[in-house]
Structure 1
Amino acid sequence: MLTRAGRVRPEPRKKPKTAYTRFAAEQPNETWQSDFTHYRLTDDTEIITWLDDHSRYALHVTAHRAITGAIVTSTFTQTTYIRGIPPSTLTDNGMV
């Protein structure tokens, strides 16, 4: 949208070729991805999500005032209780 509106000049040479390669786990429940997003509802809210990397199925989604290490651990534990323990996980290695 920004490019069409003339607000951004595309510079495709800057994008690495690996950015076009899509990664997905080969088997369901093989790898989970986790991330959280800031979202403005009535106050600032953070939403944590655990996804199955193979199917992109949302295994767990909850909203919190602020995500802490305890919340990450708790949501992971709750989700493994229901879905089993994945052999691996992926995160963006954020501060939490």
Structure 2
Amino acid sequence: FAAIKYNAAPPNEEARQLIEKAKSELEQSNYVEAINLSSRATGLLSFSNAEQFSVPSAVYPLLGVIAVVAFFRYKKSRQPEKQKLRVEKINFKG
């Protein structure tokens, strides 16, 4: 799977080395190590460049507002609601 993903992704030297090591481990019948190396190479190829994946700075204030709103809604839901007492009028007809 890592070799297929490598062919579709931009060149990554570290991933190429891991795939070559995995192939040599397969030839030596060391399957566990080959799976481990292949998984590491697949992880490297998930993001072509980890530095390209970044969260825009405008997202942080939005996440802060969402967190504050969620906190106050949670806090409000934890407070018991005051029960309204209904008092009937007494007519004094004398």
Same fold (TM over 0.5): no
Query: Which of structures 1 and 2 has the bigger CA Rg?
Result: 2
Give the structure-2-normalised TM-score: 0.25
Higher helix proportion (structure 1 or 2): 2
Instruction: Identify the structure with the greater strand proportion.
Output: 1
